[in-house]
Amino acid sequence: MKRFFFKKASLLILCIAVLLPLADLNVNAASSKPKNIILMIGDGMGPNQVAMARASKGSALHMEGMPYKGTSSTSNYFGEVTDSAAGGTALACGIKTKNGAVGITHDSEIVPNLRELFEDKGKKTGLISTVSITDATPAAFGSHVENRSNQSAIAEQFINDHNIDLIMGGGGKNFSADLRNTATQTKGYTLITSKTQMLSTNKTKLLGLFADGNFPYYHDGYTAEIPTLEEMTNKGIETLKSSNTGFFLMVEGGAIDLAGHEGNKNRNIGETLEFDKAVKAALDFAAQDGNTLVVVTADHETGGLKYKETTEEYYFTSGNHTGADVPVFAYGVGASNFKGAMINTDINYKIKKLYDLIPTTTSTKNTTTKSVPKSTSTTKKAPTSTISNSSVSSTSKTDNISGESTENISTSSILGSSSNEVTSTQTSSAATTSNPKPKDNGIMIVIVIIAGVLVLGGGGFVVYKFVLKK
């Protein structure tokens, strides 16, 4: 009898020895709730922008090593090619809207954005960009305006109507002297205007304005006192995590889009690679923290880039945005939700679902902020009918480097598939091994326990009879 139980115990140990290493697999329970969320948006970054940057680097990008991959469609409310305002609003608020509109429905109802929802949950929040921080994409996470060009109103909402803990980017000219005084004297911000100040401060509420307009291109040479996106991301994480309440951080690589409008290969590659360095900073933190979700995507593709990796042939087919699907990458707690084909509003929905934040209605009237500001400038109204598949509305930026980003409506044909598309099924062994796996062992531990029960019960005797006894 002792011999029999000894053999069963030996079998149990054997099962544990075999199964425990498997517990380190990337298993993310769909229902898990991350403490921190880092949403990273490569503005204008389509699959071929990723492929061309990969070829230039000579190895897979860090984002490509993230274990869950998918694609996102990006059209606006009317089925048109989206601009950054509508695309950013889809990601921020989870609704389709008209081009030019920020944080509102196509009929001007205010919809809470992710940052506001997490602020209401007691989490710290932050916005980071390499273009004007009041440009369309970051604006969608911190304001509600009829017209994206009304950047002064966006800046005022950032400071006066919300409690954003960290704001860093360009666009300093949109923050008046009075608004800066309000920020520092009334709202508790520490104003920083250089990389040296950013790296040295230990304050926990920061307003970082490092350029009057957009940052210069990384490829063209960087001013010493303008921080890189990687540096801002590291500082943002360091600052927001200090409260230990959890945080939501949106990070935008905004100039990928600008280079796409120009059809400039080297600038496009440079901005994509710099964005990927910021992704690595987020992944390094998430791997160490073990309770963070990182999602990487784009608001739209810009330039209609075609790229053939085998020959390094490339060409931009458009100077505008296109309707091409954009990649989605996810890592960490809850990352398994972000795989396969989806639409841009799904990304917002999936994040809110992790926190049980799904509203009972599609949109709500905002009762705590001012009415939606009306811009004095004019913009082309969205059409009232769906555009045909042969011709769609698109956009182009007219001020690429230092001024406000504005968008002109034009038309372009929908592009066919590329010779080298990065899809949800594409993986890279080099990238996969470079990123640590999330700390989520619960499922495998349960398997080990069940195996142990079977071994100590009747099932163990069967295995003993056919394995050990032989």
Tokens 């394995």 belong to: 467
Torsion sign, CA atoms 104, 110, 111, 112: positive
Length of the chain in terms of residues written = 470
Task: Considering the candidates 84, 393, 394, 412, report the single residue annotated as catalytic.
Answer: 84
Confirm if 32 and 404 have CB atoms less than 8 A apart. Answer: no
Q: How far is CA 441 from CA 11, 105, 448, 469, in A?
A: 22, 41, 11, 32
303 Rama sector, left if φ>0, alpha if ψ -120 to 50, beta otherwise: left
Annotated catalytic residue 176 = no
Distance CA 336, CA 372 (A): 37
Other C-beta atoms closer than 10 Å to the C-beta of 317 total 16
Tokens of 165: 């803990």
Residue (of 245, 311, 277, 350) closest to 51 by Cα position: 311
Q: For the chain, how many helices (H) and strands (E)?
A: 15, 16
* Residues 86/393, Cβ–Cβ less than 8 Å: no
Handedness of CA 289, 290, 291, 297 (dihedral sign): positive
Q: How buried is residue 310: exposed, middle or buried, by Cβ count under 10 Å (0-12/13-18/19+)?
A: exposed
Give the strand pairing for 407-412 and 190-192.
unpaired
Closest residue by Cα to residue 234 from 266, 272, 265, 277: 277
CA–CA distance, 167 with 469 (Å, rounded to integer): 67
β-pair type (340-343, 292-297): unpaired
Distance CA 300, CA 324 (A): 7
User: Which has the closest alpha carbon to 45: 28, 61, 26, 21?
Assistant: 61
Contact 232, 128 (CB under 8 A): yes
Please identify every residue annotated as catalytic. Answer: 84
